[in-house]
Amino acid sequence: MTPATVHDSTVYTVPLVAVADETLFFVRNLEFFYGDFHALTNVSLDIHPKAITALIGPSGCGKSTFLRCLDRMNDLIAGTKVEGSVLFSGSDIYGPGVDPVDLRRRVGMIFQQPNPFPQSIYDNVAYGPRLQGIRKKSELDEIVEDSLKRANLWKEVKDILSKNGLAISGGQQQRLCIARVLAVEPDVLLMDEPCSAIDPTSVQKVEDLMAEIKEEVTTIIVTHNMQQAARVSDYTSFFLQEVAGEPAVLVESGKTNDLFTNPQDKRTEDYITGRFG
């Protein structure tokens, strides 16, 4: 096992090296701090490729913090500190030589509130490919159409691609953000409560999307909806902060059906049966 290391928010510029590995993310002994506040302790978890993993637990138990550890989004917060190992495709994402920008292209993030750019639907989706140097209109047209189709949005917007992305419904905006991430062909999609602020029809379309892209894009979703976790995920991990002010822990992780029908920890059983949280 890789020895535990301490990392700060230093930005490196050498590209991340991918190494074939049956486990996509290999997290061991993760500790995370916001300044003096110890937010997560002793988290060890394997994230499997071509699968959907749900992170569940009460509010404030470190689920979103852990999710942001996987693409180094927490680096953008001053004073944060990470200890332990986070390997992605066999490489330490916090190691020397890792470019966080390249990491975030390969590990895309969808936030709770939709955040389309204040520009056209077309330009929202074409933004990433253009940054990668694609300029030919026919290529961009193909990427935009394919990405919107994969996000279950093409039929709704194909005749209004010039419309501002902020002018469509909230559910459509969320799927537009997903299309924008898919346009750069990520390996992983991190979703931080992506369905909490959208209508039921869009929730269904987002869930369908996760199932449709599973063979191509590994998805990790934070959700408070137990039914959603049971419906869409292959694996589930339960996080808990038992005492206010103390760091949260990963209580239990496993195949979703096993965790929901035969939890190994009483705390997991109490949570999924509604005794607390």
Mean pLDDT, the chain, integer:
91
Give strand ranges (E) for the chain.
6-7, 25-34, 37-47, 52-56, 80-88, 91-92, 107-110, 188-192, 218-222, 235-240, 249-255
What's the confidence (pLDDT) of residue 213?
A: 94
What's the confidence (pLDDT) of residue 42?
A: 97
What's the confidence (pLDDT) of residue 150?
A: 94
Q: Which amino acid is at 274?
A: G
List, run by run, the mean pLDDT of 10-residue segments along the chain (277 residues).
40 35 88 97 96 96 97 95 95 93 95 95 98 96 97 97 97 96 97 92 92 95 95 97 94 97 96 84
What's the confidence (pLDDT) of residue 13?
A: 30
Domains of the chain: 6-272 (3.40.50.300)
Strand, coil or helix: 89? coil
What's the confidence (pLDDT) of residue 62?
A: 95
Beta strand pairing status for 25-34 and 188-192? unpaired
What's the confidence (pLDDT) of residue 277?
A: 66
Q: Are 46 and 27 in contact (CB under 8 A)?
A: yes
pLDDT tens digit sequence for 177-218: 999 999 999 999 999 999 998 889 889 999 999 999 999 999
Helices 200-213, 170-182: axis angle to 10 degrees equals 20
Structure-token pair, residue 94: 């916090």
pTM of the full structure: 0.90
